[in-house]
Amino acid sequence: MNKTIQLQDLGNKDYKETWEYQEELFKGIVDLKIQNRREETTIETPNYFLFVEHPHVYTLGKSGDLTNLLLSEKQLEAKGATFYKINRGGDITYHGPGQIVGYPIIDLENFFSDIHKYLRFLEEAIILTLQEYGLACGRSEGETGVWLGVGTPFARKICAMGVRASRWVTMHGFALNINADLGYFDNIIPCGIRGKAVTSLNVELGVDRVDEQEVKEKILKHFSDLFECSIVR
């Protein structure tokens, strides 16, 4: 089992280009697994972790409801945003500047064959990271992601998650609001959940800007601890 994960920070990159790149890496792992089974070989499958920041974009998961997008095509253009229907789970979400997006493209059979555990570990890496900033955060029953103020009238989501898995290979991942323009969330019903707010780390800390690279390093530390893996750059 290969417990090494290759880190790639793509910087600011178009959503569609990044999606195609994810698909390329994903297909490479799946094809190798098929080859191993067909030829009875044991070639190690690679694992990847992509960090990226996208220009303004809304994405709708395969089971999502298009009515949760509250903008017309012209309004999207006016806001400088794009829209894609994609092949992850979950409903609609927003990506944009000031948000850390993480895409682990890993062969879970290198770690454990349990997609539920995988999602909980992703959430836990974010929870542990935010706790380092003094935030009391956690899970909301039946709602994937990381929340603050769970069980109160002030519940607010700070990290959205949506993944795809096939043959135990994952793609897509999480989007953590660090210095995000929360106004863009007003144009959707985030994750299809009505009546709950969205927040960002800088807002919760009452500061203009949080060091995004520092947050990335904390995420990687907790991710590597949870998955008992080594991350190479």
Task: Give the residue ranges of the annotated binding site.
Answer: 88-95, 160-162, 173-175
Angle at 120 between CA 114 and CA 123, to 5 degrees: 145
State how far the Cα of 118 lies from the Cα of 120, in Å rounded to an integer. Answer: 5
State how far the Cα of 55 lies from the Cα of 62, in Å rounded to an integer. Answer: 22
Give 143: exposed, middle or buried? Use CB within 10 Å, 0-12, 13-18, 19+: middle
- Provide the 10 A C-beta neighbour count for residue 177: 25
Give 92: exposed, middle or buried? Use CB within 10 Å, 0-12, 13-18, 19+: buried
State how far the Cα of 10 lies from the Cα of 105, in Å rounded to an integer. Answer: 14
Catalytic residue status for 137: no
Question: Can you say which residues are annotated as belonging to the binding site for substrate?
Answer: 88-95, 160-162, 173-175
Catalytic residue among 137, 159, 191, 229: 191
- The continuous run of DSSP H or E covering 85 comes out as strand 82-85
**Contact predicate 5/104, CB 8 Å:** yes
Query: Would you name the residues annotated as active-site residues?
Result: 191
